[in-house]
Amino acid sequence: MAVRYRKELDIISPYVPGKPIDDVKRELGLERVIKLASNENPFGFSS
């Protein structure tokens, strides 16, 4: 059986994952990098 889906989904671009931490450190010349989740920011929660 063929998988059916809405044609509107054809325009969605595929997910491109972020670079590995070691690559970021090397490219930017950093010794330490802290990885945050997509729902986090370095300033904590907003009130």
pLDDT of residue 38: 80
Tell which phi-psi region holds residue 44, choosing left (phi > 0), alpha (psi between -120 and 50) or beta. Answer: left
Quick one: tokens of 46?
């907003």
pLDDT of residue 18: 87
Which DSSP string corresponds to 3-27? ----GGGGGPPPP-PPPPHHHHHHH
Residue by residue, pLDDT tens for the chain (47 residues) are 899 989 999 999 998 888 999 999 999 999 999 888 888 888 888 76
pLDDT of residue 44: 81
pLDDT of residue 24: 93
